[in-house]
């Protein structure tokens, strides 16, 4: 059985004859005497496309290798039978994107390795909608390092280096080849040469010349557990679209912050420092308000009530605990933080007033829920409805105390 993609990765249309046909779970699994459909491998996804037999059209949704045969898993209309001639058509956009991405991955990793010699490849994931390199690095992997590798990779890709595929016996592979030989079962190793720049053992499909890749753009860097990182990248038009989108987002942020892109980082840093300073000031102010809070005398009880915003809820609870140590006291405190509202109602042990019912109704008014003990109930709900809940609770408690 001929694997056309091994001889020519650019053949997207081919004629072949149907060999075995199996039906499984309403899908046909077809073997052909030759195929250009790549079953996937080397981290690259399989091809998709169609098989047209005249008497039926099969959508190839998965391709896999089993027992030395390439199986085409198809959703189909019409019939297929052994010996029939079919016209195969590969989804070329999908395949070509993966060929470009796979070649870009070799270059990008080589550049990374030149910058950080202790970096190790864990695995690659080559897909149509974006690809990733998973690496292990003992130090801190910074976006700056990755961007430096991106710059290097783009300059290599622009050099129009020839990409060639060669086969070697395991013991004869050229010096400097990146390969995990312990993971390769066969005696013959497929090696990809990118000009004189890179040599790497790989089962995937690649372009013939590096400038076919177009732009290579890093789209994300994430930490994947201890020492492991995922570097995501895009190629060609997708990379260009991504860069334009990023530029647009940057310009919009500049317009909001009334600054220019060269000053954006500094402006963002200043804003963050300012935000932290203001948050601290609000918290200090809130603490002062709490300390200076005076209760209302309602017949034989004291009622503390205050609506705050930007307060630390833990501090608030501590203060409530302190206030109810005084006899005949009821405390109602509310705190708005962003879109969240927090409410506490508590009373001293010598108070006969029932606060539970008031609390339940107040939490319902802010679409929230509370909990705690009969004399100390707290809960959270919607920030925008906190004012109404607080007002309701204050009125109800006053009425109860004045009764």
Per CB under 5 A, residues contacting Zn ion are 102, 202, 204
- Nearer Cβ to Zn ion, position 110 or 328? 110
Tokens of 238: 């997708």
Secondary structure class of 255 (helix, strand, coil): helix
82 and 18 Cβ atoms separated by less than 8 Å: yes
**Residue 258, both tokens:** 């009334």
Nearer to Zn ion, 231 or 343 (CB): 231
The residue whose Cβ lies closest to Zn ion is 202
Tokens, residue 96: 């070509």
Nearer to Zn ion, 21 or 203 (CB): 203
Instruction: Determine the Cα–Cα distance for residues 293 and 319; give it in Å rounded to an integer.
Output: 11
Report the nearest approach of Zn ion to the CB of residue 206 (Å): 6
DSSP H helices in 38-142: 92-115
Cα angle vertex 41, ends 40, 42, to 5°? 140
Report whether 235 contacts 214 (CB < 8 A): yes
The least distance separating Zn ion from the CB of residue 168, rounded to whole angstroms, comes to 15
**Residue with Cβ nearer Zn ion (120 or 312):** 120
User: How does DSSP assign 160-197, residue by residue?
Assistant: --BEEEEEEEGGGPPTT-B--GGG--SSEEEEEEETTT
Q: How far is the CB of 101 from Zn ion (least distance, A)?
A: 9
Contact 386, 343 (CB under 8 A): yes
Nearer to Zn ion, 199 or 202 (CB): 202
Closest distance to Zn ion from the beta carbon of 170 (Å): 18
Q: How far apart are CA 81 and CA 30, in angstroms?
A: 9
Instruction: Give min distance, CB of 104 to Zn ion, in A.
Output: 10
Which of 193, 319 has the CB closer to Zn ion? 193
Residue 136: CB minimum distance to Zn ion, A: 19
- Cβ proximity to Zn ion, 110 vs 229, nearer residue: 110
CB of 219 to Zn ion, least distance (A): 20
Please identify which residue in the block is written with the tokens 């100390």. 376
- DSSP lists the bridge partners of residue 369 as 380
Least separation in angstroms between residue 95's CB and Zn ion is 14
Rounded to the nearest 5 degrees, what angle is found at the Cα of 207, between the Cα atoms of 205 and 209? 150
Dig out the tokens for 144 from the structure.
Answer: 């700056």
Q: Which is nearer to Zn ion, 40 or 204 (CB)?
A: 204
């Amino acid at each position: 059985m001929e694997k056309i993609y091994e001889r020519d990765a650019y053949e997207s249309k081919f004629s072949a004859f149907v060999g075995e046909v199996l039906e499984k779970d309403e899908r046909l699994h077809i073997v052909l005497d030759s195929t250009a459909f790549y079953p996937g491998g080397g981290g690259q996804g399989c091809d998709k496309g169609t098989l047209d037999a005249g008497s039926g059209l099969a959508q190839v949704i998965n391709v896999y290798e089993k027992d030395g045969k390439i199986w085409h898993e198809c959703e189909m209309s019409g019939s297929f039978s052994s010996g029939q001639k079919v016209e195969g058509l590969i989804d070329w956009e999908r395949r070509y994107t993966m060929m470009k991405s796979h070649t870009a991955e070799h270059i990008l990793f080589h550049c990374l390795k030149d910058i950080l010699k202790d970096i190790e490849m864990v695995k690659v994931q080559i897909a149509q909608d974006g690809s990733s390199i998973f690496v292990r690095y003992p130090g801190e992997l910074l976006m700056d390092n990755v961007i430096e590798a991106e710059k290097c990779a783009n300059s290599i890709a622009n050099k129009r280096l020839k990409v060639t595929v060669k086969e070697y016996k395991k013991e004869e592979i050229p010096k400097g080849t990146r390969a995990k030989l312990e993971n390769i079962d066969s005696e013959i190793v497929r090696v990809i040469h990118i000009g004189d720049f890179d040599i790497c053992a790989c089962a995937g499909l690649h372009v013939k010349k590096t400038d076919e890749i177009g732009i290579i753009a890093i789209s994300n860097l994430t930490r994947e557990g201890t020492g492991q990182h995922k570097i995501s990248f895009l190629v060609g038009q997708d990379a260009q679209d991504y860069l334009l989108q990023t530029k647009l987002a940057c310009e919009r942020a500049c317009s909001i912050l009334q600054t220019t892109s060269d000053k954006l980082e500094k402006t963002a840093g200043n804003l963050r420092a300012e935000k932290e300073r203001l948050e601290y000031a609000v918290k200090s102010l809130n603490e002062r308000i709490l300390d200076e809070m005076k209760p209302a005398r309602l017949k034989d009880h004291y009622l503390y009530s205050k609506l705050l915003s930007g307060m630390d809820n833990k501090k608030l609870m501590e203060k409530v605990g302190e206030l109810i140590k005084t006899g005949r006291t009821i405390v109602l405190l509310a705190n708005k933080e962003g879109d969240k509202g927090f409410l506490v109602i508590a009373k001293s042990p010598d108070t006969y007033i029932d606060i539970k019912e008031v609390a339940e109704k107040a939490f319902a008014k802010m679409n929230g829920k509370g909990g705690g003990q009969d004399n100390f109930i707290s809960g959270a709900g919607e920030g925008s409805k906190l004012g109404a809940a607080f007002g309701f609770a204050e009125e109800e408690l006053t009425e109860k105390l004045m009764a």
